Amino acid sequence: MSDFKSNMWAEEEYVDGSFIMRYRLKNTLFRGKSEFQAVEVVETEGHGKMLFNDSLAMISEKDEFIYHDMITHVPMFVHPNPKNVLVIGGGDGGTAREVLRHPGVEKCVMVEIDKMVCDACYEHIPQTSKVFDNPKLDLKYEDGVAYVKNTKEVFDVILVDSTDPIGPATPLFGEEFYKDVYNCLSEDGIVVSQGESPFFNQDMQKKLLSILKNNFEISSIYNFSNLTYPGGLWSFTFGSKKYHPVKDFKADKVLDSGMEFGYYNEEIHKAAFCLPQFMRKELKDFIKA
Amino acid sequence: MSDFKSNMWAEEEYVDGSFIMRYRLKNTLFRGKSEFQAVEVVETEGHGKMLFNDSLAMISEKDEFIYHDMITHVPMFVHPNPKNVLVIGGGDGGTAREVLRHPGVEKCVMVEIDKMVCDACYEHIPQTSKVFDNPKLDLKYEDGVAYVKNTKEVFDVILVDSTDPIGPATPLFGEEFYKDVYNCLSEDGIVVSQGESPFFNQDMQKKLLSILKNNFEISSIYNFSNLTYPGGLWSFTFGSKKYHPVKDFKADKVLDSGMEFGYYNEEIHKAAFCLPQFMRKELKDFIKA
């Protein structure tokens, strides 16, 4: 974040530094270093407030609805009756916020390793973090990897809302973790995980999908487009014990819910699983659906 | 393109300069000023060669297949038998290249106002411009607006592969132009046009769609995701005299064609017309399909 220090720009480097996205700053609201990562909240001219972890853009107020709609509502509308939901990571709160809009949810456990992220967002980005006051939310500052290994709780849906596979999130991209996720999912449970860029991280997508294929009855991947992740196109992986993400999806359930969304709808749900040819070709052997 | 001059970076400003995308340069290959615009071809570290017109990224070698697949193959597979095709703009050649992959096409007329763009691409970006040697291509250096007003030719498909509605492309976003397009389309003809960003240019999308709705039997819009247009998500508008872009589309025609694509396929064709909720809500009154 070279120019970040000058208080002029927040910037994120990509493709080995050959491609950069820069956001003109109005203010720096928070800058800290936890035992896990650098945490920064800034206010930008064009994208509202933004959270950066280790110089990687996590969310912007302008487009966070897209990511949070798509990580949450796709599995929540495939599962017929999700009551207990686990969010791993997601320290800004946006994923838990969307989970708790579903009236059938009785409890949402959110396990975030880095309390500094939650605290900074709670102070500066209420748009995502006001959910921390919701009595149905059980917010734990713990290592998500250890949590799924040790918990006796059973979840219908698990959402892995992680940063990239560097730093504290690295174990969240490993097979051991997904075996534990499988074991604390109900017999018809679903796990959805941040699935990286189809343009830049195809090897990581193959790794994640092959873990899901080896450990779950159904493995798939779906896309969305957002503003703040480089390349625009981004993905989530989908692992499921019973329900197919498209064949078992009922559009009427979305329409009848009366819920309003910014990005998600009953057509986007199905369209998101239609992969561009370069993805279909590379990933077809890793999809079991 | 402030740092462009230092030969370190090519950059494109967006959102009133509050958001910038920067590409690290290896080389500047061409820099000229035509009577219409500044034309620059550079070689970048991460995205291959890129064309910039008036500091706006037009194409990169890394992802031009996406834009060119989606402007071309969507209408070419909706129309049952397109023989005569007109490309307006598209000076890099990528759109004409994809048109002429369809064996049923007898002639592709390409009308580019700025010869400097074609010459610079022909010299430096053969990936898109080698099509200029194809004998089925009739390449004219003329004003596309005047061309559709005056031509006696009739086309099955017209592709408006334009820059943004500033500078030389401005009249390509006006009603007068689309009335002339209608008149030189066959009785079952289709026009597809570069449709700007759903995030940044919704007013322009409404304007384009309302022109299509007022002048064509069917008006619609579809999306794709690419790397080099800010925000990733981008769109094309679809105007048609007879054929519906989804209901009259036959997936088997794509599968039976034996053609291979980088982005397009029979699933993406339909998925592209499924709009995110924020687009569906804003644009639904402008879609006639």
> Regarding predicted confidence, which is higher, B232 or A238?
A238
> Regarding predicted confidence, which is higher, A92 or A9?
A92
Fold of B2-58: Spermidine Synthase; Chain: A, domain 2 (2.30.140)
The pLDDT score that the predictor gives to residue A169 is 83
The pLDDT score that the predictor gives to residue A47 is 92
H/E segment holding residue B223: strand B218-225
Q: Do B107 and B84 contact (CB within 8 A), yes or no?
A: yes
Closest by Cα among B128, B125, B122 to B161 = B128
Mutation for testing the A interface, residue in B267, B275, B287 having most A CBs under 10 Å = B267
Chain A residue with the nearest C-alpha to that of B277: A263
Which residues are registered as beta bridge partners of B190? B157, B240
ipTM of this complex: 0.94
Question: Which tens digit of pLDDT belongs to each residue from B247-270?
Answer: 999 999 999 999 999 999 999 999
Average pLDDT of B208-226?
97
Backbone angles phi, psi at A86, to 5 degrees: -115, 130
**CB–CB of A19 and B18 under 8 A?**
no
Burial of A187 (0-12, 13-18, 19+ CB in 10 A): exposed
The pLDDT score that the predictor gives to residue B157 is 98
Q: Which of A225, A265, A276 sits opposite B268 (nearest CB)?
A: A276
Provide the b/e sequence for A102-118 (b: ≥16 CB within 10 Å): beebebbbbbbbbebbb
Q: Which of residues 64-123 of B touch A (CB under 8 A)?
A: 66
Average pLDDT of A232-245?
97
**How far away is chain B from the Cα of A48, in angstroms, using its nearest Cα?**
11
Q: Do A129 and A118 contact (CB within 8 A), yes or no?
A: yes
Question: Which tens digit of pLDDT belongs to each residue from A77-86?
Answer: 999 999 999 9
The overall average pLDDT reported for chain B is 94
Contacts of B260 in chain A (CB under 8 A): 277
> Regarding predicted confidence, which is higher, A229 or A31?
A31
> Regarding predicted confidence, which is higher, A9 or A30?
A30
Angle at the Cα of A41 from the Cα atoms of A34 and A205, rounded to 5 degrees: 75
Average pLDDT of B154-158?
98
Give residues with Cβ within 8 angstroms of B13, minimum separation 6. B19, B20, B55
Q: Do A164 and A196 contact (CB within 8 A), yes or no?
A: yes
**CB–CB of A274 and B277 under 8 A?**
no
**CB–CB of B225 and A223 under 8 A?**
yes
Amino acid at A7: N
**How far away is chain A from the Cα of B14, in angstroms, using its nearest Cα?**
9
The overall average pLDDT reported for chain A is 94
> Parallel, antiparallel, or unpaired for β B185-194 and B155-161?
parallel
Q: Do B10 and B50 contact (CB within 8 A), yes or no?
A: yes
Backbone angles phi, psi at B88, to 5 degrees: -105, 125
The pLDDT score that the predictor gives to residue A119 is 98
**CB–CB of A46 and B15 under 8 A?**
yes
**Distance of alpha carbon A60 from alpha carbon A42, whole angstroms:** 9
**Distance of alpha carbon B9 from alpha carbon B25, whole angstroms:** 5
pLDDT at position A95 over 50: yes
pLDDT at position A20 over 90: no
The band of A6, judged by pLDDT with boundaries at 50, 70 and 90, is low
Q: What percent of chain B has pLDDT over 90?
A: 84
**Distance of alpha carbon A26 from alpha carbon B180, whole angstroms:** 46
Average pLDDT of B190-207?
94
Closest by Cα among B178, B205, B161, B201 to B68 = B161
Give residues with Cβ within 8 angstroms of A28, minimum separation 6. A7, A40, A41, A42, A43
Chain A residue with the nearest C-alpha to that of B281: A262
pLDDT at position B68 over 80: yes
Number of H helices, E strands in chain B: 10, 12
**CB–CB of B280 and A263 under 8 A?**
no
Amino acid at A125: I
Mutation for testing the B interface, residue in A233, A269, A281 having most B CBs under 10 Å = A233
Alpha-carbon separation of residue B88 from A127, B33, B96 (angstroms):
44, 21, 10
The band of A1, judged by pLDDT with boundaries at 50, 70 and 90, is very low
The band of A99, judged by pLDDT with boundaries at 50, 70 and 90, is very high
pLDDT at position B20 over 80: yes
**CB–CB of B225 and A226 under 8 A?**
no
Contacts of A23 in chain B (CB under 8 A): 18-19
Contacts of B251 in chain A (CB under 8 A): none
What does the domain layout of chain A look like in residue ranges?
A: 2-60, 64-286
Across B45-49, B117-121, B271-275, least confident range: B45-49
Place of tokens 């003109």: A24
pLDDT at position A164 over 90: no
As a CATH number, domain A2-60 is 2.30.140.10
H/E segment holding residue B191: strand B185-194
The pLDDT score that the predictor gives to residue A3 is 45
The catalytic residue among B161, B180, B188, B248 is B161
Mutation for testing the A interface, residue in B19, B45, B77, B268 having most A CBs under 10 Å = B19
Give residues with Cβ within 8 angstroms of B175, minimum separation 6. B211, B214, B215
The band of A2, judged by pLDDT with boundaries at 50, 70 and 90, is very low
How far does chain B reach from its first CA to its final CA, in angstroms? 41
Burial of B4 (0-12, 13-18, 19+ CB in 10 A): buried
Residue A167 token pair: 């730093």
**Distance of alpha carbon B273 from alpha carbon B224, whole angstroms:** 9
The pLDDT score that the predictor gives to residue B2 is 39
Q: Helix H segments across B224-263?
A: 251-257
pLDDT at position B215 over 50: yes
pLDDT at position A232 over 50: yes
Amino acid at B66: I
Side-chain half-sphere exposure of B180, counting CA atoms within 13 A: 20
Mutation for testing the A interface, residue in B12, B15, B61 having most A CBs under 10 Å = B15
**How far away is chain B from the Cα of A274, in angstroms, using its nearest Cα?**
6
Question: Which tens digit of pLDDT belongs to each residue from A35-78?
Answer: 999 999 999 998 999 999 998 899 999 999 999 999 999 999 99
Q: Which of B15, B46, B261 sits opposite A19 (nearest CB)?
A: B46
**Distance of alpha carbon B42 from alpha carbon B60, whole angstroms:** 9
The band of B1, judged by pLDDT with boundaries at 50, 70 and 90, is very low
pLDDT at position B185 over 60: yes
> Regarding predicted confidence, which is higher, B232 or A242?
A242
The pLDDT score that the predictor gives to residue B7 is 65
**Distance of alpha carbon B139 from alpha carbon B231, whole angstroms:** 32
In this prediction the pTM is: 0.95
The pLDDT score that the predictor gives to residue A262 is 98
Catalytic residue check, B248? no
Average pLDDT of B32-56?
94
Q: What is the dihedral of CA A173, A238, A16, A225, to 10 degrees?
A: -150
Q: Which of B22, B262, B264 sits opposite A22 (nearest CB)?
A: B22
The band of B168, judged by pLDDT with boundaries at 50, 70 and 90, is confident
The pLDDT score that the predictor gives to residue A7 is 65
In the three-class reduction of DSSP (H, G, I as helix; E, B as strand; rest coil), residue B63 is classed as coil
H/E segment holding residue B95: helix B94-99
Chain A residue with the nearest C-alpha to that of B227: A231
Inform me whether the C-beta atom of residue B154 falls under 8 Å from chain A C-beta atoms: no
Residue B18 token pair: 């509050």
The pLDDT score that the predictor gives to residue B10 is 84
Residue B61 token pair: 């070698």
The catalytic residue among A92, A119, A143, A161 is A161
pLDDT at position A134 over 60: yes
Q: Which CATH superfamily is domain B64-286 in?
A: Vaccinia Virus protein VP39 (3.40.50.150)
Chain A residue with the nearest C-alpha to that of B270: A271
CA A283 distance to own-chain centroid:
20
Inform me whether the C-beta atom of residue B47 falls under 8 Å from chain A C-beta atoms: yes
Average pLDDT of B101-119?
98
Inform me whether the C-beta atom of residue B258 falls under 8 Å from chain A C-beta atoms: no
> Regarding predicted confidence, which is higher, A116 or B55?
A116
Which residues are registered as beta bridge partners of B89? B161
Q: Do B169 and B202 contact (CB within 8 A), yes or no?
A: no
Which residues are registered as beta bridge partners of A240? A190, A218
